[in-house]
Chains A and B, each alone.
Chain A
């Protein structure tokens, strides 16, 4: 093995404040570098909660959660925010864009909050602006679309901008929380293909959450949250 896993979880327990039962209880989970993981599970089973833990926005009650060998609960809150900015790119279900920023500025947001990601762009000999345009271009966002207000884009276009933002500056981990659920089926697979191609080019580990199994095909590893989570979900579809 030798190489450190990008994500490593041991005996992790998480409970929402005020909840009696734990939401997550994961004895062990690992994701190696460059892996594309499809994570599924019913609504309310705790998928988004796990992603919040991975970003260091939530902290486990017990157990270990290390990203790239760094134990997140060992960092102070500002350092966790910084760590997230430097190493994790997020794509949400919808409304990913800041309405008052343009398309390119929305992508550049990621390098504005992370000097490490900006330096990685520069190290490739590109300005952040050029790199943002290159990524947008790769994701099929070209021409006057770049100068459009973020709120004037279709949902599919918005998600591509969000993907470009998650990818810029080469973060090691890309977390996508049902990024295609607002798209029609044809667009969904195009988007997943584009995202995975670019993530592979950057060598990023992808955690892709969805409850739509038709999308799982493109992923080498598919995982039901229930398979790693011992906590009994109290959600609607449990």
Chain B
């Protein structure tokens, strides 16, 4: 009967303090569960749209996953570089249509700096074969010019003409700054939803130039080459971190991969992006499942607490149930009253959990994107998340049947005269 719903709501409100405490626990557990699911799907989305149209990623020998992580997603560091002549070999390989060098290792206020050449803007593709587009300005031509991703521009408030200083190493706070050789921002890329947004792009020669007076990660003491003289030095790159390779004919991919992997002059690794991503999901999948299992258990803990609180309150409510019976409530109304109360709190918890998550996404999303490169999409709820919530509410309903059934039994036994 519909009045049971009103009664359940008012009864729950009457005990809002105790129920509220369990509700908080439950809201947190729901936010955790849906949050993990959200980060998981968004991480996969971000990763799989980050590279497209590249047939091979080549770097010094490491694991394919590691190579993908630093070359494409800018996560972690390369352990070794590959020599420039190895890159030349790739470029001149008869099957190779294009090869783009990538030189990583420096950063600007936590954002990675990528040394590359004009080929990057020509050949790099993301999402569904989309090319990079400049939102403002132009590509870098002169030595100390940089093109920045949309996220860098937005977060740091940079426009064309901004002067930036690169740091040695990847940390957000780095003491070693290339402060004697500032760069000018000449172009800003349109947002892509990929690690490109977080990247500062400069030329390979610029990377060489800022490291002229450096050795082994530190400035050579008492030795400094002013910016205006660097063009007098040979700035031809000696090594790069990795290369993106496009083939003339995709069917040759395994043959080229074998040749690169067996290159006699230097130990190299050629990885197929799709295969490497699958490997990554295999590895991450275990952690994901573990996290989801843990958060599901946290939800179960929250629900158990809720049921315990409702059950504990039942003892002092026997009088109330007898009154309801006296005015004509059937035992099944009593059952509905207690079950609805649990369900009510569960649904409220699910809604508040989502709300909390929405707030957290807005508040923490930029930080997550900056640190981990995963763009968390602000949204109310996705279909998958709704399924999770449906499950949570379903389990909550099942759990609420316990106090419902107990009250049903009690009211049958008590009749109009509760023995307390």
Produce 1/0 per residue, B230-245, CB < 8 A to A: 0000000000000000
Judged by a CB distance under 8 angstroms, whether B323 is at the interface is yes
Q: How far is the CB of B98 from chain A (nearest CB, A)?
A: 73
User: Are B330 and A77 in contact, CB atoms less than 8 angstroms apart?
Assistant: yes
Q: What band does the interface of chain B fall in when counting residues whose beta carbon is under 8 Å from A?
A: 20 to 34
User: Are A98 and B417 in contact, CB atoms less than 8 angstroms apart?
Assistant: no
User: Are B416 and A52 in contact, CB atoms less than 8 angstroms apart?
Assistant: yes
User: Are A84 and B10 in contact, CB atoms less than 8 angstroms apart?
Assistant: no
- Tell me, in angstroms, the Cα distance from A96 to B415 when the chains sit together: 14
- Tell me, in angstroms, the Cα distance from A73 to B7 when the chains sit together: 30
- Tell me, in angstroms, the Cα distance from A78 to B330 when the chains sit together: 6
User: Are B327 and A101 in contact, CB atoms less than 8 angstroms apart?
Assistant: no
Cβ–Cβ < 8 Å partners of B3 in chain A: 112-113
User: Are A95 and B325 in contact, CB atoms less than 8 angstroms apart?
Assistant: no
Cβ–Cβ < 8 Å partners of B1 in chain A: 113
Q: Which residue of A lies closest to B330 (CB)?
A: A81
Judged by a CB distance under 8 angstroms, whether A141 is at the interface is no
Cβ–Cβ < 8 Å partners of B10 in chain A: 100-101
Option from A57, A95, A99 in Cβ contact (under 8 Å) with B415: A57
User: Are A82 and B328 in contact, CB atoms less than 8 angstroms apart?
Assistant: yes
Q: Which residue of A lies closest to B2 (CB)?
A: A112
**Residues 1 to 42 of chain B near chain A (Cβ within 8 Å):** 1, 3, 7, 10-11, 13-14
User: Are A96 and B328 in contact, CB atoms less than 8 angstroms apart?
Assistant: no
- Tell me, in angstroms, the Cα distance from A25 to B319 when the chains sit together: 28
Q: How far is the CB of B203 from chain A (nearest CB, A)?
A: 73
User: Are A100 and B14 in contact, CB atoms less than 8 angstroms apart?
Assistant: yes
A48-B417, A52-B417, A100-B11 are known contacts. Are A110 and B327 too (CB-CB below 8 A)?
yes
Judged by a CB distance under 8 angstroms, whether B179 is at the interface is no
**Residues 304 to 340 of chain B near chain A (Cβ within 8 Å):** 319-320, 322-333
Option from A57, A86, A100 in Cβ contact (under 8 Å) with B325: A57
A96-B323, A99-B320, A100-B13 are known contacts. Are A51 and B416 too (CB-CB below 8 A)?
yes
- Tell me, in angstroms, the Cα distance from A38 to B82 when the chains sit together: 105
- Tell me, in angstroms, the Cα distance from A112 to B324 when the chains sit together: 11
- Tell me, in angstroms, the Cα distance from A10 to B416 when the chains sit together: 23
Cβ–Cβ < 8 Å partners of B322 in chain A: 92
User: Are A55 and B329 in contact, CB atoms less than 8 angstroms apart?
Assistant: no
User: Are A98 and B326 in contact, CB atoms less than 8 angstroms apart?
Assistant: no
Produce 1/0 per residue, A214-232, CB < 8 A to B: 0000000000000000000
Which residues in B have some Cβ–Cβ distance to A below 8 Å?
1, 3, 7, 10-11, 13-14, 319-320, 322-333, 415-417
Which residues in A have some Cβ–Cβ distance to B below 8 Å?
48, 51-52, 55, 57-58, 77-78, 81-82, 84-86, 90, 92, 95-101, 109-110, 112-114, 165
